[in-house]
Amino acid sequence: MNTAGTDQPRPSVADILIEALPYIRQFAGMTIVIKYGGHAMVDAQLREDFAQDVTLLKFIGLNPVVVHGGGPQINQVLDRMGIRPKFVRGMRMTDAPTMDVVEMVLGGKVNKSIVALINRSGGKAVGLSGKDGGLIQAEKLKIVQQTDADTPPEIIDPGLVGRVTAVKPDILHTLAREGFIPVVAPVGYGPDGETFNINADLVASHVAMSLSAGRLVYLTDVDGVLDAAGTLISSIAAMDIRRLVEDGTIAGGMIPKIEYALEALQNGVGKVPIINGTRRHALLLELFTHSGIGTEVTT
């Protein structure tokens, strides 16, 4: 190994494998739910890396389950159809024509492209909608918005947007036993057979709870939770979350992820890493290195 011009020798392949060994042993047989979204779904190289990472996890004895988003892809199709997307509190207003597009894009194009990439990497992936096998039961989401204490609350109808009421994981267990990697689109069905568009972060949390997953990993476009100085916080205990929200350390779009993480931890999930999916092989770096790369939310 040539180390000329460096202060420290680069780790050999053997060093990297030895560092990973105790984690491979620890995670053997563990179910890991991965919420896949953001830039990692758009960049071609990152998509290939993700498929390879998930395939490797399965080969070394873990049971990965992928739950994916697809907002940018939905917007592209809506734009071509002349439908302008509307959002309230970060949620897509979903009327019947928009729901048709959501289901077509998430359950069709996006889901099947992820499945194809994993299969091309040597894995055996199967694409599912939350409607398949009665996987994700849902009900209509009600949004209550109040601007101030002197104003009566406003009830906003988001259309066919749902919240999870139950996850029936039988089909996921069956696929895992047969060596398959489930890839789940965040679409559920209601009590009257209606179809609901559901936030993918929320679906991932409920799927992880239903499986008592050892890890629920959120892939994002940021490194994790940063402190006031912009430094990554490597670990957050559940008891510290309220304080970090109140002082603004946890803010914006990170708040719902943390809330879903906390609910998962309170319902049987081991830990919830929030990592930057724009780093190549982010999953492997988080799971199989001593330091990890993101923020780990723990009990």
Which architecture does CATH list for 31-225+258-294? 3-Layer(aba) Sandwich (3.40)
**pLDDT at residue 62, rounded to an integer:** 97
The SS3 of residue 61 is: coil
Closest CA to 273 of 222, 230, 231: 222
Query: What is the mean pLDDT of each successive set of 10 residues along the chain, which is 299 residues long?
Result: 50 81 92 94 94 97 96 90 80 88 94 97 97 95 69 76 96 96 97 94 98 97 91 93 90 91 96 96 94 92
Instruction: Kindly give the interhelix angle for 254-265 and 200-211, rounded to the nearest 10 degrees.
Output: 10
Query: Which own/partner contact pairs does 11-18 have at CB distance under 8 Å and 24+ positions apart?
Result: none
DSSP E strands in 146-271: the ranges are 154-156, 162-167, 181-185, 187-189, 195-197, 215-220, 235-237
Distance separating alpha carbons of residues 76 and 74, to the nearest angstrom = 5
**pLDDT at residue 4, rounded to an integer:** 45
**pLDDT at residue 3, rounded to an integer:** 44
**114 touches 68 (CB < 8 A):** yes
Distance separating alpha carbons of residues 112 and 272, to the nearest angstrom = 26
Distance separating alpha carbons of residues 284 and 53, to the nearest angstrom = 6
Opening angle at CA 66, ends 62 and 72, nearest 5? 155
**pLDDT at residue 155, rounded to an integer:** 74
**pLDDT at residue 39, rounded to an integer:** 86
Question: pTM of the predicted model, to two decimals?
Answer: 0.91
Instruction: Kindly give the interhelix angle for 170-177 and 200-211, rounded to the nearest 10 degrees.
Output: 70
Domain ranges of the chain: 31-225+258-294
What tokens were used for 220? 């994002």
**114 touches 134 (CB < 8 A):** no
Distance separating alpha carbons of residues 198 and 193, to the nearest angstrom = 15
Q: What are the angstrom distances between the C-alpha of 261 and each of 39, 46, 115, 201, 247? A: 21, 24, 26, 9, 19
Strands 162-167 and 91-92: unpaired
Strands 181-185 and 63-68: parallel
**pLDDT at residue 157, rounded to an integer:** 79
Closest CA to 121 of 56, 42, 32, 183: 56
